[in-house]
Amino acid sequence: MTAKLHTVAPSGGGRFTVHRAMPRYSPVEEIRAAQAQDESHIIGGAVVRSERMKSVFRLVAKIARTNATVLISGESGSGKEIVARALHDQSLRCERPWVDVNCGALPEHLVESELFGYERGAFSGAEGQKAGMFELASGGTLFLDEIGELDARMQVKLLRVLDGQPYYRLGGTRKVSVDVRIVAATNQSLEKAVAAGAFRGDLFHRLNQVSIVVPPLRERVEDIAPLAYRFLHEVDPRLELAEDVLDALEAYPWPGNVRELRNVITRAAVLAESWQIRASDLDVKPSAPTPVQPGLKNQLGGVEEQMIREALAKSGGRQDLAAGLLRISRRTLLRRLKEYKKVSPPVSVLPA
């Protein structure tokens, strides 16, 4: 269970929060169970069914109890903060503060004072001493979201602190030392930013001691159904999703990732006129398929069927594992198998 200590709103906008987290659980046993059966699991606060996300949380479990700096990358809305929280909750610092800040939300002229604090009289309006986020997170974890938005001057100071150097509060004369684990996240390619001269290479390498990539939702369609049901039941546990809803959700590319899925399901649940939500209630428009010539379509269908047969052979006939190898949902796999049985000899499979 996590108890929030307090939320601080920096002057001029932006936000950061300070929490004290209690130990939750080790996700290792849950991951092993998820591998053995086709069902979703709550791991680190995330609904996980896909092999891609199980791999992410296996890595989290492996590195959580180290002090390595971690850089989490992924598209906006893909779940980077949930992964960061799982790192903290499984770390040796789990009973110490968690502080998160969106670097892109802080006005440029306030970044230094908010990160490192200030003394009374440091600038107009500084009527008292204020601890910065590094001090608030001392002993715990500081999560720097949108790290690529920091300007060059702040990148230099951050690098010094990461290297263990004490720092001054703005307007201060006494050095401050802190013990903080840094977890950073970005939706940019910092490698490209370094090549373009927009981000310091030494800071990138210091942040990137361990790299975690969170895949976009369109590349882990197995997670869509359990996520949709979770979001639906958060609004009204009495509601259900019709079969065509899941087909529509899995066909949509989700440019806004999990955040967009939550919004779509929440809107449908709020506006629902019956106990069952149908595809027509969703505010999504699946991408139109690219038309193909009939002959080519038959060839592609044959290639697809062969890939499915090979995946089933590799997985020993386990449909859930085969779906993971193909990076499709088990529902999609079953639908394909039914189609192939109509035009070819049955595919031998084992129940999941």
Extract the tokens encoding 163: 């290297």
Rounded to whole angstroms, the maximal C-alpha distance in the chain is 82
Is 222:330 a contact under the CB 8 Å cutoff?
yes
What integer pLDDT is reported at residue 26 of this predicted model? 42
Question: Is residue 72 classed as helix, strand or coil in its secondary structure?
Answer: strand
Extract the tokens encoding 207: 């942040």
Is 96:20 a contact under the CB 8 Å cutoff?
yes
What integer pLDDT is reported at residue 344 of this predicted model? 47
Distance CA 145, CA 183 (A): 8
Q: Structure pTM?
A: 0.72
Contacts of residue 332, defined as CB under 8 A and 6 or more positions apart, other chains included, come to: 221, 250, 323
Per-residue pLDDT tens over the stretch 88-124? 999 999 999 999 999 988 887 788 888 998 888 778 7
What integer pLDDT is reported at residue 229 of this predicted model? 92
End-to-end CA distance of the chain: 33
What integer pLDDT is reported at residue 302 of this predicted model? 63
Residues in the chain: 352
Distance CA 101, CA 146 (A): 9
Q: Is 271 exposed, middle or buried (0-12, 13-18, 19+ CB in 10 A)?
A: exposed
Contacts of residue 282, defined as CB under 8 A and 6 or more positions apart, other chains included, come to: 245, 248, 249, 264, 268
Give the type of residue at 266.
T
Q: Which domains does the chain carry?
A: 2-213 (3.40.50.300), 218-281 (1.10.8.60), 294-343 (1.10.10)
Give the type of residue at 322.
A
Per-residue pLDDT tens over the stretch 294-348? 443 444 456 777 778 877 887 787 877 777 777 676 777 777 777 666 444 444 4
Query: What is the residue-wise DSSP string for 94-125?
Result: TTSEEEEEEGGGS-GGGHHHHHH-B-TTSSTT
User: What parts of the chain have a pLDDT lower than 50?
Assistant: 1-13, 20-38, 288-300, 342-349
Distance CA 160, CA 323 (A): 46
